[in-house]
A and B are shown apart, each in its own frame.
Chain A
Amino acid sequence: MVTSNTDLAYNTKIEDTLVVTKADAVINWLRSSSIWPMPMGLACCGIELMASGNSRFDIARFGAEVMRFSPRQSDCMIVAGTVTYKMAPHVRRIYDQMAEPKWVIAMGACASSGGMYRSYATLQGVDRIIPVDVYVSGCPPRPEALLDALIKMQEKIRRQPAARELLGGAKAKSA
């Protein structure tokens, strides 16, 4: 909403009972403000992911504190750690079980590229099996880095043509 109003809250004296906006803005606002992560903690990055959820870093400030251990209830898979080839199909299957729309954060060097594990056992980047929206560098990244990735992903979500995808019957996700 573009007004000269500088009040942070909704003000009935100015707006009355009507708010004019765009469907995209509303849908994306809803989606980006309540991202329920699927914590795919596979290695030490998982510990930093847990720290992000705790009070010092407080991922709840960005509406993503509801870690869901069921893919059916999750919006965003945070792949935190080394993905071995043995684990890779399970990661993909859990991703497949998540409901649209869904996003993926590759947290840390291992999930992004295989990291220091240049070996026969390690998938060289989780983007080989699932589409990744945001990569986080670090080994492991600090919680601030994960929160930054989360903010970047929120910005990305807010740019998506959500209404057209939802109501226009177009293909589900433009990842």
Chain B
Amino acid sequence: MSLAPAEVLSALQGKFAQVTARPSGDHPAVNVPMADAVALLRHLRDERGFDFLVDVTGIDWDVDASPRFSVVWHLFSTRDHGYLRVVAACASDTEPSAPSVAALWPAADWHERETYDLLGIRFENHPDLRRILMWEGYPYHPLRKDFPLAGIDVPLPDLEVGEVTRATAAPAPMVGGPFVASTGEMNLTEAEPRAKDESWDERKEKPDTL
């Protein structure tokens, strides 16, 4: 299978009419309805040689966006040495869910747990959908757009220790931060404070003031 984007799309559309092209700066990418996602991924694995699941992740587009959440699968073919990105939007903006592909690639197990942990996307039929980074019982999903980087005050995972130490998972002090900017708000290279004194390159001279 050749991996030119147009050919990937036409080859897949022959079998999955719902598959559409997705703008991509690097590898071929396709959009697919969530209902067809597992069938498409199974087809890619069994018929197209995409035997290696590189990554499962998710996107929170914005608090007000609809569909708000997308799930992204990155596939690699060790036969043809090429990547393919498959994206499906979650139907619900409040209780997002997606089918698990842990049965297709065991590698998906922990990736899906991480996506569930940080974005709150539930993976149906996952063998063991527990949090993987934050602790059991943590009430938020930190990579959602409405979650502040500093965090929200919650008790420590161990209530007994929390009682003895009177410590909580309190918001981190953001001295001069947070050092992030929303997409499109400004140039991220310039938004990074570290870059303010190092932001010269071949196009922009080093400032004399430094």
Name A's B-contacting residues (CB within 8 A): 85-86, 88-89, 92-93, 114, 117-124, 128-130
**In the complex, what residues of B have CB within 8 A of residue A122's CB?**
172
Among listed B11-19, B74-82, B163-171, interface-contacting one: B163-171
Interface secondary structure of A, over-half rule: loop
Inter-subunit contact B158/A89 (CB<8 Å): yes
Among listed B47-55, B144-152, B198-206, interface-contacting one: B144-152
Inter-subunit contact B178/A120 (CB<8 Å): no
Inter-subunit contact B158/A118 (CB<8 Å): no
**In the complex, what residues of A have CB within 8 A of residue B61's CB?**
none
Answer whether residue B210 sits at the interface, using C-beta atoms and an 8 A cutoff. no
Contact size class for B?
Answer: 20 to 34
Would you give the shortest CB distance from B133 to chain A, in whole angstroms? 7
Inter-subunit contact A120/B158 (CB<8 Å): no
Would you give the shortest CB distance from B161 to chain A, in whole angstroms? 4
Inter-subunit contact B133/A121 (CB<8 Å): yes
Q: Smallest CB-CB separation from B131: which chain A residue?
A: A86
Determine the distance from Cα of A88 to Cα of B167 in the docked complex, in whole angstroms: 10
Name B's A-contacting residues (CB within 8 A): 133-135, 142, 147-152, 156-158, 160-162, 164-165, 167, 169-175, 177-178
Determine the distance from Cα of A86 to Cα of B171 in the docked complex, in whole angstroms: 15
Partner of B149, one of A88, A119, A130: A119
Determine the distance from Cα of A85 to Cα of B142 in the docked complex, in whole angstroms: 14
Partner of A120, one of B152, B160, B165, B173: B152
Partner of B169, one of A117, A118, A120, A130: A120
Determine the distance from Cα of A117 to Cα of B174 in the docked complex, in whole angstroms: 10
Determine the distance from Cα of A124 to Cα of B167 in the docked complex, in whole angstroms: 10
Would you give the shortest CB distance from B139 to chain A, in whole angstroms? 12
Determine the distance from Cα of A123 to Cα of B167 in the docked complex, in whole angstroms: 9
Determine the distance from Cα of A48 to Cα of B147 in the docked complex, in whole angstroms: 35
Closest A-B pairs by Cβ, 7 of them: A120-B151, A89-B158, A89-B161, A118-B172, A85-B169, A129-B165, A86-B135
Determine the distance from Cα of A93 to Cα of B165 in the docked complex, in whole angstroms: 11
Would you give the shortest CB distance from A106 to chain B, in whole angstroms? 15
